[in-house]
Structure 1
Amino acid sequence: MKTLFTMSLSVALFAWSGSKCVAEQFVLFDTTFTFTKADADNSKPSPSHYYVKGDMLNAERPTDWTSPVDYRNGSVHVRLEVIEKPPGDEPTTWSVCYIPNKRQNGGYGCIGTDVYQQAGIYEKDVDMTKFWQNDGIVWTEGIKEMHLVIKDNTGGKGHAHKREDHEKFFPTKVRMTLVQVARGSKYNPKLLPSHPTSDTGDTH
């Protein structure tokens, strides 16, 4: 029997075009979590990382992202809902990293959310061939997990847990959803799950 998680993601996987079923997009993950300073300090193997893996990822995601449907040359829709954030409007962002089953070049690649200062919903579309080290992944072998890294706005090494004023970043509660869109298709918000498919306050 399919789990509710799998069934809800399956709904977002296919859209009908005439008499053909075309895989236009799928939800890679959809998770809501609270992240504290203690979570950031103690996350293993790397601090400030929230790990999305196992049943937190869509079990029906493709192994080959290039064929028969080309997601590798499509886009990803990043939806970040900041539910709770400490006062002070400190600029904050998340690096969102694809960790592959098979590595090459740099071995993984990362996109980033927009920088935000307040609670709210932040959405963007990213070309899958234009983000940092997107060629560090063997896309025909698939993705095994995702790493979400909370940072300030100073660049790649600005991990929030290192800040002396870390209380401006923690605790925070967010819902993050990644929707993979096939080449030649456009993100359809109607296929976004109405409720998160996983909800946890723990690091993984």
Structure 2
Amino acid sequence: MHKRNLLLPAFAPFLLLFVASVSLCRAEQFVLFDVTFTFTKEQADNSKPSPSHYYVRGPMMNAERPKDWTAPVDYRNGTAHVRLEVLEKPEGGEATTWSVCYIPNKGQNHGYGCFNTDVYKDAGVFEKDIPMTKFWQNGDIVWSEGIKEMHLVIKDNSGGKGHAHKRTDHGKFFPTKVRMTVVQVSAGAKYDPKLLPNPPADTEKK
């Protein structure tokens, strides 16, 4: 009986270390934003300062996102997990994608960087992991200064300037309704879908 009591204090530090390690692994990701919205041709034409942009700002961003994405947890060299749920899309199966752009508190050169969602033709759920060091202009962001807002840009499949509002057949793109969620995962960690908010945030009522 006495031996058991002596063993428990000796084992306890290792147990606490294990629990702390598990908790840390789970904590090394965060939801950057989770928005559900309808986007019409009129909204795309009149979005300011740039057409075809849906702006994720203020309370739509996670207020607890880190100010420094390089330390003490390294998100800059991790991955972004994007989940795009296309709830409504015009018929016709037109190839569509979204550019997801990080707007930093401090930039350099062009001052922002973007990755693209998968191309889709119909409603459904589309997910992918994007290395934070691989997407377009990721080096133009001073990651130690954090991210201010996000710009979501609806496009066709023709390349960087294929903004959907410019198409003469814009009825193939608008109106659309989507839910988009971006989860930032730290370097060396793996995306955990349990963190995904469910049910989705009803940002259309905000």
Asked if residue 70 in structure 1 is aligned to residue 74 in structure 2, the reply is yes
SS at match of 2:130: strand
| Letter aligned with residue 73 of structure 2 | V
Q: Measure how far apart 1:24 and its partner are.
A: 1.4
**Cα gap change, 1:164/1:136 in structure 2, threshold over 3 Å: closer, same or farther?**
same
Aligned-residue offset at 1:197: 2.4
What are the ranges of 5 or more consecutive residues in structure 2 without an aligned counterpart? 1-16
> Aligned AA for 1:122?
F
Look up the equivalent residue of 1:82 and give its one-letter code.
V
**Hey, what's the Cα distance between the residues in 2 that align with 1:19 and 1:108?**
35
Amino acid at match of 2:184: Q
Q: So what's the TM-score if we normalise by structure 2?
A: 0.88
Identify which of 38, 44, 60 aligns with 1:40: 44
Q: CA deviation at 1:17?
A: 5.8
Once the two structures are superposed, residues 26-60 of structure 1 have per-residue CA deviations (whole angstroms, 9 ceiling, x without a partner) of: 00000000000000000000000000000000000
1:91 equivalenced with 2:92 (yes/no): no
Count residues with an aligned counterpart: 187
Question: Counting helix residues as a fraction of each chain, which structure ranks higher?
Answer: 2
Please list every run of 5 or more consecutive structure 1 residues that lacks an aligned counterpart in the other structure: 1-15
2:60 and 2:203 in contact (8 A); partners too = no
| Structure 1 residue 196: Cα displacement | 2.0
Q: What's 1:18 paired with? A: 19
Assess if the C-alpha contact under 8 Å between 1:34 and 1:201 holds in 2. no
* Identity over aligned pairs, percent: 73
Counterpart-to-counterpart distance in 2, 1:156 and 1:106: 15
Q: CA deviation at 1:195?
A: 1.9
Matched residue, 1:10: none
Shift of 1:158: 0.2
Q: CA RMSD in A?
A: 1.4
With the length of structure 1 as denominator, give the TM-score of the two structures: 0.89
**Shift in Å, 1:159:** 0.2
Per-residue CA deviations over 1:85-115 (Å, capped at 9, x if unaligned) read 0000000000000000001122100010000
Q: Closer, same or farther in 2 for the Cα pair 1:87/1:143, shift >3 Å?
A: same
Q: Is the 8 A contact 2:77 2:132 kept in 1?
A: yes
Aligned to 1:143: 147
* Aligned twin of 1:123: 127
